[in-house]
Amino acid sequence: MASPRPRITGISHLCVYTGDPAAAEHFYQVDLSAVKGADPEDPKGVRYYFSSTQYVEVLPLPATHTINRLDHIAFNTDNARALHTYLSDQNASGVTALRQGADGSVFFESVDPEGNKVQFVQPGSVTISPNTVPVISTRIIHVGLLVHDRAVEDKFYKGLLGFRPYWYGGAHPDTVDWVMAQVPDGSDWVEYMMVGDGSSVPLASLTQDEKGQEQLGVLDHFSLGVPNIEAAMTTLIGGDRLSKRHSGPLLGLDGKWQATLFDPDGTRVELMEFQPVIKPCCSPFTALNPTE
C-alpha cells in the first residue's frame, strides 16, 4: 500500500544566484529588511530571512551559467522523512537522499516535469535577530516560475503533491498567463508563469542574452505579502530603499494591489496585499486568500 502524503504547509524559500554578492546583500538586507544569516545547507551561500521558516537563499553565480538565476524553489513540510518516502513510493523524478542542515532542518529535492528543482524542507531551529530597518514584510506568499505545459505541471503539483486550484488569468481575453495552485495545507501558492502557445509571452522572447535574462527574471519570482501597499511603498520611498528598477503600485488583474522591485540580478520581487479589493478578472478565487 502506498504511503499517505504528509502535509505541505507553505513556501520555505527560493534559491537564486548573484554575480554581485554585496549588491544582493544591500537589496535583501536593507531594501527588503530581511535578516542575513549563514546558510546551513551550503557554506558558499547566504540566507536572508523574512521569518524563522521563510527566506531567500543566495548563491554565487557559477563560472559556467546560462541566463537562469533561479536554482530551486522550496516548500515547508512537517515531516520530510515521510514525504521523502511518499515521493519515492510514487516514483517521483529526481528524488535525492535526505540531508540534514546545520540548523537541524531535514530536506531533499525532487524535479518537476519541466525540470525545475523543487526542495522540501522540515524547518530546523533558527533565531532571527531584530531588524535595524523598518520591516516591509515577514511573509512570502508565493513563488512563480516559467511553465510551458500547464497540464504536465498539474500532474506533479496538483496530482502528486495535492496542490489546490486558486486562480488563473491572462493579460488578454484569449490568453492564460498566470495559473496559481495553493499548497494543500496552507494558503501560500506556486504560480505558473505561462510561456508559449495560449499565453501572451512567446517562446522567442527567451533569447540566450541579456534581454532573455531580463525576461526570465520577470517570470521566475517571489512575492512578499503586505497588509497595505501604500504603507509599504511609503516606507521604501522614505528610506531610499526602492530598487533601481521598479514599478507600481498598481491594481493587478487578480484584484490585489501590488508593486514590483528587482534584485541586482533581475529576479523580480512582488509586494502584494493579502486580500483583493475588487473582483478578479478571468476566474474566481477557488481557495481562501492568505491573511497576515
Residues of the chain with CATH 3.10.180.10: 8-122, 140-273
Count other Cβ atoms within 10 Å, centred on residue 284.
7
**CB of 78 within 8 A of CB of 57?**
no
**CB of 14 within 8 A of CB of 45?**
no
At CA 54, angle to CA 51 and CA 56, rounded to 5?
115
- Whether the per-residue pLDDT at 19 is higher than 80: the answer is yes
| Integer Cα distance of 275 and 260 in angstroms | 17
Spatial strand order in the sheet of 246-251: 164-169, 178-182, 189-194, 140-147, 221-226, 268-273, 257-262, 246-251
pLDDT band at 212 (very low <50, low <70, confident <90, very high): confident
Q: What is the rounded (10 degree) CA torsion for 274, 272, 19, 128?
A: -40
Averaged confidence pLDDT in the chain = 94
Tell me how far apart the terminal alpha carbons of the chain are, to the nearest angstrom: 39
Q: Average pLDDT of 166-186?
A: 96
Predicted local distance difference test score (pLDDT) of residue 1: 53
**Number of helices (H), then strands (E), in the chain:** 5, 16
Over pLDDT 90: what percentage of the chain?
85
Predicted local distance difference test score (pLDDT) of residue 137: 96
Class of domain 8-122: alpha beta
Kindly state the cell numbers that stand for 29.
538586507
pLDDT band at 67 (very low <50, low <70, confident <90, very high): confident
Predicted local distance difference test score (pLDDT) of residue 286: 95
Predicted local distance difference test score (pLDDT) of residue 14: 96
Pairwise pLDDT comparison (39 vs 127), residue with the higher score: 39
Question: Strand, helix or coil at 195?
Answer: coil
- Whether the per-residue pLDDT at 10 is higher than 70: the answer is yes
- Whether the per-residue pLDDT at 2 is higher than 70: the answer is no
Is 140-273 CATH 3.90.700.10?
no
Tens-place pLDDT, residues 238-250: 999 999 999 999 9
Predicted local distance difference test score (pLDDT) of residue 84: 97
Q: Average pLDDT of 71-87?
A: 97
User: CA Rg, the chain, in Å?
Assistant: 18
| Integer Cα distance of 128 and 46 in angstroms | 14
Predicted local distance difference test score (pLDDT) of residue 25: 97
pTM given for the model: 0.96
- Whether the per-residue pLDDT at 187 is higher than 60: the answer is yes
**CB of 292 within 8 A of CB of 173?**
no
- Say how many CA atoms lie within 13 Å of 159 toward its Cβ: 11
Buried b (16+ CB within 10 A) or exposed e, 234-269: ebbeeeebebeeeebeeebbbbbbbbbbbbbbbbbb
Over pLDDT 70: what percentage of the chain?
99
CA of residue 202 relative to chain centroid, distance? 22
